[in-house]
Amino acid sequence: MNDFLTQSHWIGKFTDKELSPDEEVRLLAQASYNPLLRNELRLDKDINEVFDDFELISLSDTIRSAVSHEKSRVILPLYVKIAASVVILITLTALAGLLVNYSKQNPGQSFHDRNPLLRHETNGLFGFMQAYHMQDMPATPAKRRDLALSSSFNSYSLRPEYEFLIGTATRDVSVFVISPLPRVRCKADSQLQFSWRWVSEVVPVSIEVIDNRGRLMLNSTQILDMSYSLETRHWPKGLYYYKIITVDELVTIGSISIY
């Protein structure tokens, strides 16, 4: 076999894990110095993932249905729009009047009482009840940002600095990652299988997993086997990011969503 690009059935068999060990070694040897073949292997794998992702197909059907509904929706007459605008204007005017009336009642004290960063701790009835919880730290931008983050951040919030790298081409050509997929969804108490092949010589592989807040969950280094099993038995539900790294280079980045 001289030209692997013309043997497309080998690429499909590799993705479906139907190649013999000898055929797999020969294909990976060609991929070690042929970037176009590596991209073909990655593309074929991504296409299979799309066809297997029933949620993505369902989302596509929902989008098409919404677009069709938008095209067929009834346009309201002009007089209905004018009436709605008048109602909104009256409502805003009433709210403005309430705010002006409220501001006359010692606005400085009202703001002080309702700002969680400016409240002071006072003893309640006979010292057994607390009226306010004291926040003795200054209202710095960092404190306000942390306060907003704690109230709006959830365990599935995305990290943009990792999201745009998921599924990109392998940076270190000495290792070819077979599993897991770039984006993994699994239930709690799952076991994830990491596997790869070395193209030429064996080099140590490391696996690092962080949660979506940047906290390190796993740092397994100097792996010389061709696979690694990750247990998520005691991991909370949420979004995680994994990195596969060689000695000096990042191989790939992916995400793990535990639900």
For the chain, domain boundaries: 1-73, 74-105, 113-152, 155-259
Q: Which of 89-93, 157-161, 225-229 has the lowest mean pLDDT?
A: 89-93
pLDDT of residue 111: 46
User: What is the spatial distance between Cα 96 and Cα 108, in angstroms, rounded to a whole number?
Assistant: 18
Q: Assess whether pLDDT exceeds 50 at residue 165.
A: yes
- pLDDT higher than threshold 80 for residue 98: no
Which among 251, 125, 130, 246 has a CA at the least distance from the CA of 180? 251
Nearest to 6 by CA among 22, 21, 27, 32: 27
The answer on pLDDT for 14 being more than 70 is yes
- Of 182 and 150, more confident: 182
Tens-place pLDDT, residues 122-142: 444 444 444 444 444 555 665
Question: What is 155-259's CATH number?
Answer: 2.60.40.1220
- Res 3: pLDDT: 58
- Residue 183 pLDDT greater than 90, yes or no: yes
Within a 13 Å sphere around the CA of 221, how many CA atoms are in the beta-carbon half?
A: 3
> What is the rounded average pLDDT of the residues 22-34?
83
The pLDDT tens digits of the residues spanning 35-66 come to 778 878 888 777 777 666 666 667 777 877 77
